[in-house]
Amino acid sequence: MPTSVYNPPALKKGTLRVIPIGGLGEIGRNMTSFEIDGKILIVDCGVLFPEEHQPGVDLILPDFSPIKDRLDDIVGVVLTHGHEDHIGAVPYLLRLRKDIPLIGSGLTLALVEAKLKEHRIQPYSLTVTEGQKEQLGPFDLEFVAVNHSIPDALAVAIKTDGGTVLATGDFKMDQLPLDGRLTDLREFARLGQEGVDLFLVDSTNADVPGFTPLERSIGPVLEQVISKAPRRVIVASFSSHVHRVQQVLDAAHANGRRVALLGRSMVRNMTIAADLGYLKVPENVLIDYKKAKDIPDDKIVYMSTGSQGEPMAVLSRMANMDHAIEVGEGDTVILASSQIPGNENAIYRVIDGLTKLGANVVHKGNAKVHVSGHAAAGELLYCYNIIKPRNVLPVHGEYRHLVANAKLAIDTGIPEENTILAEDGTVIDLKDGEARVVGQLEIGFVYVDGSSVGEITDADLKDRRILGEEGFISIIVVVEAQTGKVIVGPEIHAKGFAEDDRVFDSVKPKIVQALAEAAKNGVRDPHALSQIVRRTVGRWVNTSYRRRPMIVPLVIEA
């Protein structure tokens, strides 16, 4: 896997350049750039959700730097489906150029447009369906139906003078899908016969043997759990998981319960899905959250966000007793989603919190309340054998998933040298059936923190972690400008380090002594003196307490 950064050569006419901008080595912020003859096509533009070591961060965006100076060359953004890790960063891209055309299915574009409305952006959009063909500049596009955990997902074949690329987006091969919409293997086979030069394949479940279980196997389990629940039922899932919400609505209806949707994104997305006919709401089942409190506890189901332990989501607030719904003895909480890698600790904290409050917490670890939306190894092998691509680029997954996917490709007869293990920013040129790595761009994380985008750096996050884990010490010293002699202080104050500032009495003489030695050596610059104070206190804290707090010294001349 490439690690060193090096610039690619100038792109030759008739050669297709592929750059994964996000989604490799991570589950999220999926985005890929395709360029030929001076024009660029983007596929997907998603977000990544922060982990514990990124305190205060709301979202992580793809690094737009490879295309930021080429915005006018972008002919469109193809969105494969409506999950946040594929559409969540669209508003931030369109802030840079509002008239970039968006291409996607009806539900996908409806979800994006609702999101853009909050950002006061009116997009140019083109709705497409499976089997449809469109031309955008030098790119001939064909859209193929794929099955996923959200309706209306599409794979896209991109035909250019440099070669043909097939990008699956997220998909699986559920043979009995809830909406009857199968992954179109006939189209995959036809494209394979015509010749697929580069296959971009979903890798999320590449290390899982066999086939992903059927989505419809979850319905009876949900119905059974709800039927046995003595009081309220709270189901947490992704706010865009239309199929799971459908199953909850059906299970609640079968048990004579009403359903209230919780969470702004859940209400927004399910309203869109119902209006477009993707969500079939049984009569008199949905009830407004504000009226739900008047329903008996054994006749209500709440459908909420927060299945990944997100701090501000509904379920986490319930676990922290910071929500109007107070979870208690006899309540049943169902986490009807998988664990995104990196979220495990946050999820188990929420489970523990809810359990302490007396709830019966049902999750994937103790009941079959979720199946993945991604193809397992058996399904991927099937695709490789049907399509027989010349080159393979595993995408959408952490490094172990990419490696597992590459191995599957090799097992089906694709030469190892034609199987590309890339990372974000890897530059791949495709021409005459040959795909070559020709560069590696430096790709960073772009953090959204409140209203600021890209202003928070990794250094800022390191400071936040230190503040949160090790505490803060400030030292103020006033020295005589001519002699460097300490005339006031040192005054030492701490937060999150010790209850009593008297613990610093033993280090104050060390500071005075260090400053005296510096003055004797002719050091007068306040910044240099501040660094001496920082090192002196840092050594003392590390030796005495085995800690590394943030130390902020201030030396003032008088």
How large is the average pLDDT for residues 467-471? 62
Mean pLDDT of 514-522: 76
Annotated binding site for Zn(2+): 81, 83, 85-86, 148, 170, 396
Given 63, 197, 202, 424, the catalytic residue: 202
Write the CA distances from 55 to 99, 463, 480, 550, integer angstroms. 34, 10, 41, 16
How do residues 133-175 score in pLDDT, each as one tens digit? 999 999 999 999 999 989 999 999 999 999 999 999 999 999 9
Taking Cα atoms as reference points, which of 422, 458, 394 lies closest to residue 60?
Answer: 458
Q: Is the pLDDT assigned to residue 341 strictly greater than 80?
A: no
| pLDDT tens column, 1-21 | 446 888 899 999 999 999 999
Write the CA distances from 227 to 272, 277, 282, 299, integer angstroms.
Answer: 29, 27, 17, 10
Burial of 46 (0-12, 13-18, 19+ CB in 10 A): buried
| 374 belongs to the catalytic site | yes
* Mean pLDDT confidence for 334-345: 71
Residues written for the chain: 558
Spell 216-246 as b/e; 16+ CB within 10 A means b.
eebbebbbebbeebebbbbbbbbbbbbbbbb
Instruction: Give the pLDDT band (50/70/90) at residue 532.
Output: confident
Mean pLDDT, the chain, integer: 86
Kind of pairing between the strands at 300-304 and 258-261: parallel
CB-based burial label for 113 (10 Å; 0-12, 13-18, 19+):
middle
Nearest one of 62, 148, 57, 140 to 103, comparing CA atoms = 140
Known binding-site positions:
56, 58, 81, 83, 85-86, 148, 170, 239-241, 370-374, 396, 449
Q: Which region holds residue 309: left if phi is over 0, alpha if psi is between -120 and 50, else beta?
A: left
Beta bridge partners of 352: none
387 or 557, higher pLDDT: 387
What is the reported pLDDT for 505?
A: 74
Tokens standing for residue 193: 């016969």
User: What's the pLDDT band for 420 if we cut at 50, 70, 90?
Assistant: very high
CATH node for 458-557: 3.10.20.580
- The three-state secondary structure class of 539 is helix
Distances 70 to 42, 75, 100, 182 between C-alpha atoms, Å: 12, 11, 12, 37
Query: Residue 112 above 70 pLDDT?
Result: yes
- Report how far residue 117's alpha carbon sits from residue 97's, in angstroms, rounded to the nearest whole number: 15
The H or E element containing residue 493 is strand 486-495
Helix (H) or strand (E) holding 302: strand 300-304
Q: Give dist(CA 477, CA 512) in Å, integer.
A: 9
Q: Does 342 have pLDDT greater than 70?
A: no
Question: Do 218 and 185 contact (CB within 8 A), yes or no?
Answer: no
Equal fold, 16-210+373-444 vs 215-362: no
Select which of 374, 401, 424, 429 is catalytic.
374
Cα 457 from chain centroid (whole Å): 18
392-395 vs 360-362, strand pairing mode: unpaired
Per-residue CA distances from 61 to 175, 215, 457 (Å): 34, 30, 13
Reply yes or no on domain 215-362 having CATH 3.40.50.720: no
Locate the domains of the chain by residue range.
16-210+373-444, 215-362, 458-557
Higher pLDDT: 303 or 491? It is 303
Residue 203 and residue 27: Cα distance in Å, rounded?
10
Name the band, by pLDDT with cuts 50, 70 and 90, for residue 50.
low
Please report which residue ranges of 166-325 form alpha helices under DSSP H: 185-194, 218-228, 242-254, 264-275, 289-292, 314-319
Question: For position 5, what pLDDT does the model report?
Answer: 87
The rounded distance, in Å, linking the Cα atoms of 257 and 250 is 10
What is the Cα Rg of the chain in Å?
A: 28
% of the chain at pLDDT higher than 70: 89
Dihedral angle of Cα 36, 41, 47, 51, to the nearest 10 degrees: -10
CATH 3.40.50.300: does it fit domain 16-210+373-444? no
Closest-CA residue to 64 (of 100, 13, 106, 104): 100
CA 223 to chain centre: 30
Q: What percent of the chain has pLDDT over 90?
A: 48
- Cα separation, 523 vs 516, whole angstroms: 10
| pLDDT, position 368 | 75
Mean pLDDT of 306-334: 77
User: Does position 384 have pLDDT exceeding 80, yes or no?
Assistant: yes
Tell me what the mean pLDDT of segment 275-298 comes to: 89
CA atoms within 13 A on the CB side of 28: 19
Flag the least confident range among 178-187, 250-259, 481-490. Answer: 481-490
Q: How many helices (H) and strands (E) does the chain have?
A: 16, 25
Predicted confidence at residue 56, as pLDDT, reads 56
Binding residues for Ca(2+): 56, 58, 449
- Map residue 44 onto helix, strand or coil: coil
Q: Which residues are annotated as a binding site for substrate?
A: 239-241, 370-374
CA dist 264 and 55 (Å) reads 23
* Contact (CB, 8 A) for 401 and 229: no
Average the pLDDT over 501-519 and give the result.
77
